[in-house]
Amino acid sequence: MLKRGLKLVVLYLILVAPGFAHQAAESDEKLASDFWSWRGRYAQYTGDDVPRMERPASVVRAWSAASVEGQRKELAAFDERWRNLADKTVSVSQQVDHRLIGSALARVHWELDILRRWRRDPGFYIEQTLTPVGEALTLPAPYDEKQSREIISRLNNIPEILQQAQQNLVSPPASFAKMAIDSLAGIRPKLEQVATTLAPQTTISAGEWRASAERAATALETYRAWLQKTLPTLPAQSAIGRENYT
């Protein structure tokens, strides 16, 4: 009976141990999957990521202080999950994967709390408004209903984000403001041309496109005028400093 019991224990371990190993491997995979889904909703748009990251459709972007604080809290939860998964007994490849997830988390900390472009770079908000529209247009026309609605929703999101920009930006460097001002020169006719070109290629009427482009152009011109007004009072220093880079 004793021998039989030992055999059963050994058999149980043979059958179950691989399952435990699989679960351990799945834990980092689950964290990575959850993180990249979250990242797709909140990651900053930049001029160099077109169209590197898959992003969910019909997501209204927000950069209010409350939204950023929400990102911080969710990021802290990912940090805790990541720390709890640290295990030096697993294979080197698994440890490397774990460290890579940590690197991805660290980048979000860098963006939100060190570089802080959402607080100090007016050009950031141009990227968060116009880049999403440009990214959606990398797909070839004509556009079906879902694609059409996605493009116009990004255009309609522009005024709200620019209102948040004026609330968030605190003494941005003058050189950053000047670049943002220059980049918005002649923005209205450019958006009008976009609306005119898109209308026959989408399921949305020309009138709706014109109205959306009008609102976006007005918001961008207002933002540009606000930057021009504040420009003489802005500081010259633009570097984040050695300590932050360290």
Could you write out the DSSP letters of every residue in the chain? Answer: -HHHHHHHHHHHHHHHHHHHHHHHHHHHHHHHHHHHHHHHHHPPP-TT-TTTS---SS------HHHHHHHHHHHHHHHHHHHHT--TTS-HHHHHHHHHHHHHHHHHHIIIIII-HHHH-HHHHHHHHHHHHHHHTTSPSP--HHHHHHHHHHHHTHHHHHHHHHHH--S--HHHHHHHHHHTTTHHHHHHHHHHHHGGGSSS-HHHHHHHHHHHHHHHHHHHHHHHHHGGGS-S-----HHHH-
Report yes or no on 101 lying in a domain.
Answer: yes
| pLDDT band with cut points at 50, 70 and 90 for residue 225 | very high
The pLDDT, as a whole number, for residue 244 is 80
Residue 83 has pLDDT above 70, yes or no: yes
Report yes or no on 74 lying in a domain.
Answer: yes
Residue 22 has pLDDT above 70, yes or no: no
- The domain tally of the chain equals 1
Report yes or no on 63 lying in a domain.
Answer: yes
The pLDDT, as a whole number, for residue 60 is 87
The pLDDT, as a whole number, for residue 21 is 43
The pLDDT, as a whole number, for residue 13 is 41
The pLDDT, as a whole number, for residue 4 is 57
Q: Which domain holds residue 137?
A: 27-245
| pLDDT band with cut points at 50, 70 and 90 for residue 241 | confident
**Mean pLDDT across the stretch 139-161?**
96
The number of beta carbons lying within 10 Å of the beta carbon of residue 139 is 11
Report yes or no on 21 lying in a domain.
Answer: no
Report yes or no on 16 lying in a domain.
Answer: no
Query: Residue 5 is encoded by which pair of tokens?
Result: 């019991």
Q: Which of 159, 170, 134, 152 lies closest to 223 in space, CA to CA?
A: 159
Determine the Cα–Cα distance for residues 8 and 76; give it in Å rounded to an integer: 44
What is the overall mean pLDDT for the chain? 89
Q: Which of 114, 38, 127, 119 lies closest to 82 in space, CA to CA?
A: 38
Report yes or no on 13 lying in a domain.
Answer: no
Determine the Cα–Cα distance for residues 50 and 130; give it in Å rounded to an integer: 12
Determine the Cα–Cα distance for residues 92 and 28; give it in Å rounded to an integer: 14
| pLDDT band with cut points at 50, 70 and 90 for residue 19 | very low
Report yes or no on 160 lying in a domain.
Answer: yes
**Mean pLDDT across the stretch 1-18?**
47
| pLDDT band with cut points at 50, 70 and 90 for residue 3 | low
**Mean pLDDT across the stretch 8-21?**
43
Note whether 177 and 134 are within 8 A (CB): no
Report yes or no on 11 lying in a domain.
Answer: no
Tens digit of pLDDT for each residue in 28-77?
999 999 999 999 999 999 877 655 778 888 888 999 999 999 999 999 99
Q: Which of 125, 136, 112, 104 lies closest to 169 in space, CA to CA?
A: 125
The pLDDT, as a whole number, for residue 31 is 97
